[in-house]
């Protein structure tokens, strides 16, 4: 089968050009033997992959020379990148993975003969997120590459199901949530492409020298986040990892944000994990091992809004034991029944139900009910405090 190559995305050069005509397309392409950049042609969308192989075989690895024939459309080949010299059947996914199953990215190489890798913009246990140029649409996007391991692939399939449901429910793009563009497999990795967004809220706090923001701006953020959570609630979806790093500025202007990273998310009736949520934003029921529901995202929301106001985490525990101590320091002891029925209570409470005393790295001990929310936040705004208390119930 003949596959088409996007001549517009082949690199352009200036010396010793060699002209050749591409069958079926009536376009003249300028090729430079030194830089291997090809001239952009406004009216061309693609050329046949057999032609690409004919003219660029020496610039592709042996692996790619076989792989390229599996693609129905070819838009970009990364000819100038320092390609991995792989061989089919060699260890670690033919040399394309590291020892942990993460994809060995090469800047300016291709993904699926379409996307040009520009930089890494995120990493996690799941794999990595790359900023890429989509040579088919000529737009910048984000591509999430899932680790080539069974358990991460399984969770990514759940993520795909949720992303698809969210996209269908947010056709008008009004619920402040990330939109998946498409998904595909490349070199045994599941890849998901997304719209490219701006800074996350932690980066914004840091850029503001951890000073905190005005209540007016926080109110705008809160309204956007509540609108997102209302939609997720209707769909019975728990985000499970709401935090400033997973809330990104959108391109619309100040105060416009989108919730991202549904990699830990689940449906309320299909809860997958017990160890969820980043520590500072982890709800008491998750810490203590209770059954959890969509309310854990509201807990995270309260923690986030407080942090946006002060510039620092509301409950900055160094461990889970100190995390629950931080919470009790401000909100007091949980009800006795809540403690006694918790599957992980022995990690945090003694046989009489008293908190286990610990000293953190700064030599500080935390005592239940020794602080109140207003003094921690250093505000007397009753409505703001009341809203946070509702989130943290």
> Rounded to an integer, what distance in angstroms lies between the CA atom of residue 139 and that of residue 227?
28
Write the DSSP symbol of residue 32: E
Residue 374: burial class (beta carbons within 10 Å; 0-12, 13-18, 19+): middle
> Rounded to an integer, what distance in angstroms lies between the CA atom of residue 4 and that of residue 26?
14
Write the DSSP symbol of residue 79: T
pTM equals 0.86
- pLDDT tens digit at each of 393 positions of the chain: 444 444 434 444 433 333 333 333 333 333 333 333 433 333 345 667 778 888 899 999 999 999 999 997 899 999 999 999 988 888 999 999 999 999 999 999 999 999 999 999 999 999 999 999 999 999 999 999 999 999 999 999 999 999 999 999 999 999 999 999 999 999 999 999 999 999 999 999 999 999 999 999 999 999 999 999 999 999 999 999 999 999 999 976 556 999 999 999 999 998 878 889 999 999 999 999 999 999 999 999 999 999 999 999 999 999 999 999 999 999 999 999 999 999 999 999 999 999 998 999 999 999 999 999 999 999 999 999 999 999 998
User: Which domains are present in the chain?
Assistant: 1-80 (no CATH), 92-196 (1.10.510.10), 201-391 (1.10.510.10)
Catalytic residues: 241
Rg (the chain; Cα; Å): 26
Angstrom CA distances, 228 to 144, 166, 184, 221, 232, stand at 22, 10, 26, 11, 6
Q: Is 161 annotated as a binding residue?
A: no
């Amino acid at each position: 089968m003949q596959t088409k190559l996007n001549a517009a995305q082949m690199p352009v050069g200036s010396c010793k050009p060699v002209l050749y005509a591409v069958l079926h397309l009536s376009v003249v392409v300028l090729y430079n033997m030194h830089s291997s950049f090809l001239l952009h042609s406004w009216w061309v969308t693609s050329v046949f992959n057999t032609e690409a192989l004919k003219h660029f075989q020496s610039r592709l690895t042996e692996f790619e020379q076989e792989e390229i024939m599996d693609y129905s459309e070819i838009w970009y080949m990364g000819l100038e990148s320092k390609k991995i010299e792989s061989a089919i059947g060699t260890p670690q996914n033919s040399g394309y993975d590291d020892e942990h199953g993460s994809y060995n990215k090469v800047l300016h190489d291709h993904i699926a003969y379409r996307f040009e890798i520009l930089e890494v913009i995120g990493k996690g246990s799941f794999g990595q997120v790359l900023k890429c140029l989509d040579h088919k649409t000529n737009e910048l996007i984000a591509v999430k590459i899932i680790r080539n391991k069974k358990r991460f692939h399984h969770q990514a399939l759940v993520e795909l199901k949720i992303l698809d449901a969210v996209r269908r429910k947010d056709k008008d793009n009004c619920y402040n949530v990330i939109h998946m563009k498409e998904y595909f497999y490349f070199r045994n990795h599941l890849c998901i492409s997304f719209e490219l967004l701006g800074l996350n809220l932690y980066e914004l706090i840091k850029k503001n020298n951890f000073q905190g923001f005005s209540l007016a701006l926080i109110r705008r953020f809160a309204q956007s986040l509540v609108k997102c959570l209302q939609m997720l609630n209707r769909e019975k979806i728990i985000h499970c990892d709401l935090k400033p790093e997973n809330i990104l500025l959108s391109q619309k202007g100040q105060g416009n944000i989108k919730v991202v990273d549904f990699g830990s998310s689940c449906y309320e009736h299909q809860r997958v994990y017990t160890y969820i949520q980043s520590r500072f934003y982890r709800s008491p029921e998750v810490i203590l091992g209770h059954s959890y529901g969509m309310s854990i995202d509201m807990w995270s929301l309260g923690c986030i809004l407080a942090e946006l106001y002060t510039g620092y985490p509301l409950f900055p525990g160094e461990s889970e034991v100190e995390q629950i101590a931080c919470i009790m320091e401000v909100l007091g002891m949980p009800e006795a029944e809540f403690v006694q029925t918790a599957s992980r209570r022995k990690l945090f409470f003694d046989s009489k139900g008293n908190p286990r005393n610990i000293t953190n790295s700064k030599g500080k001990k935390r005592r239940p009910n020794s602080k109140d929310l207003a003094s921690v936040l250093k505000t007397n705004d009753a409505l703001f405090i009341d809203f946070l208390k509702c989130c943290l119930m």
